[in-house]
Amino acid sequence: MFDIDYSRLIEQLLYQPDSPMIFSSGIFLFLFLAFTFIYNLLGKADTLRILFVTFFSYYFYYKSSGMYFLLLALVTTCDYFIAQAIATVKEKGILARILLFLSLFLDLGLLIFFKYTNFLGETICTLLETNGIDVPSSITGSLSEEVSWQPRDIFLPVGISFFTFQSLSYTIDVYRGNIRPLNRLLDYAFYVSFFPQLVAGPIVRARDFIMQIRRPLMVTDQMFGAGVFYIIAGLFKKAVISDYISINFVERVFQQPDLYSGFENLMAVYGYTLQIYCDFSGYSDMAIGIALLLGFHFPKNFDSPYKSTSITEFWRRWHISLSSWLKDYLYISLGGNRHGKFRQYFNLLMTMLLGGLWHGASLNFILWGGIHGLLLCLDKIWHSIAPMLSPLTYLSNKSAPHPSKNRTVAFLGGILTFHLVAACWVLFRAPSFEIAEQVFHQIFHKFQPQIFLQWCVSYKAVGILMLLGFLLHWLPSSLSEKAKAFVTRSPLLVKAILLILLIYLVIQIKSSDVQPFIYFQF
């Protein structure tokens, strides 16, 4: 009756290196529908439901990284028992610190090996050769007279930075006495592997999540409606705006920026600024929405970051789960602002340098993080020496004297902040310093504004989507809340129609295979 190609079906269910499963793919939609049916049948059987979700989460990760789901299991098991051991030590003495160091060594060691081996090897060999020190061929793998690092073929498991940071925060919180350790390995495996946020965040803290694990399953109409809204919003951001402007414009310019005018390079910078926001916040929105449909709450991960009037405010709005993680577990551990201004600025700079390195094994990312760290320091210095000319003053005290002047400062600060962030994204996107230099060279030396109308005609759809994306981003938050309330209150049929229309739109504008989320590489 049904002509089913079972070999093709099995192939789709197995790991495909060139096609990891993501939220915007058809295979995920198919599996998620089957998953939710079984999930709701197991609603009152807590342990079976948790076990089922954990197995599905591991399968989800298998579809992203193959057999490296065993790495996820290793981190989960080790940190669970390490946290248990830490909790048994009544005094935070040497034994507790040794156990915490063991967790750090395991999580960061795996992260360094899989993500930074080639980068560190190349950097060390370059430094040694620069200083005239011979590098053994047993290390470099090269027998040539001019010794250089031979890159190792090391697979980077998807989202390894996210689940190692999430697991590491658990052992640190147990060590600090902020939370009690879980008494079931299954519950901890559920927490670490929960598939909505597993491969690209948000980084969910144990103290915000573990109390939800054994709570009776309850998805209110409000949660269901909000979940559908977030899924629709995230899918639109990712599959309509981000993917289209990336494939049809941004990628072309960043591949060979010297073939395009400075104006086109500037539009590509603006395009990537919008693309990375829509891509990552789109994933976060879908993760938050899917979690709500399953009865779980995730914290907000983006809060209209391009509305920021200062770099400090930008990092309060951008990738909030990572920013707060770096603040709580790195910046404060370094001393925070407790040892004077100079030490505070040093701690800020080091935190952002390491934050840049977290994003990728490249000098581009380190420089990107370093510039943001320097801008954060300058922001605080400017606020301390000229508070009435600092946007931070208006943000913290809207009733301050001369509010119109402060609003003007905030407006000008918003324009400056946006362009500083956009300029830094060039380092983030460009595959090398040379490409980044070409982009800036074209913008400042070969701008050619007279091609504006020609660009509008040639890239009409790209321009419309960029304009729409920025307009939606800069709309008052109250309008977004009204849109969410409309979807939440709408009948189920209306929600289904909105989702079907969006999927139809995605299919119509799709010009290539499903594009992986940018943060999958982190």
Cα–Cα dist 446/464, whole Å: 25
For the chain, what's the residue count? Answer: 522
- CA nearest 373: which of 312, 301, 425? 312
Q: Choose, from 297, 319, 339, 359, the residue flagged as catalytic.
A: 359
- CA nearest 286: which of 160, 294, 245, 59? 294
- CA nearest 111: which of 148, 77, 78, 154? 154
Token pair 């342990």 is at which residue?
47
Contacting residues for 32 by C-beta, under 8 A, at least 6 apart: 290
Please, are residues 304 and 473 in contact by the beta-carbon 8 Å criterion? yes
CA 17, 19, 23, 28 torsion-angle sign: negative
Taking every pair of Cα atoms in the chain, the longest distance, rounded to a whole number of angstroms, is 78
Secondary structure letter of residue 19 according to DSSP: S
124-132: long-range contacts at Cβ-Cβ below 8 A with a sequence spacing of 24 or more? 124/149, 125/149
Secondary structure letter of residue 294 according to DSSP: T
What tokens were used for 263? 């104006």
Burial class (CB in 10 A: 0-12, 13-18, 19+), 398: exposed
Q: Is residue 283 within a helix (H) or strand (E), and if so which, with residue range?
A: helix 262-293
What are the angstrom distances between the C-alpha of 94 and each of 5, 78, 116, 180, 335? 61, 19, 30, 20, 21
Please, are residues 21 and 28 in contact by the beta-carbon 8 Å criterion? yes
- CA nearest 353: which of 375, 336, 369? 369
Secondary structure letter of residue 90 according to DSSP: S
Please indicate whether residue 359 is annotated as part of the active site.
yes
- CA nearest 243: which of 25, 13, 16, 398? 25
Cis omega (within 30 of 0) on the bond before 216? no
Q: What angle do CA 483, 488, 209 make, to 5 degrees?
A: 105
Contacting residues for 316 by C-beta, under 8 A, at least 6 apart: 303, 308, 323
Catalytic positions, written as ranges: 359
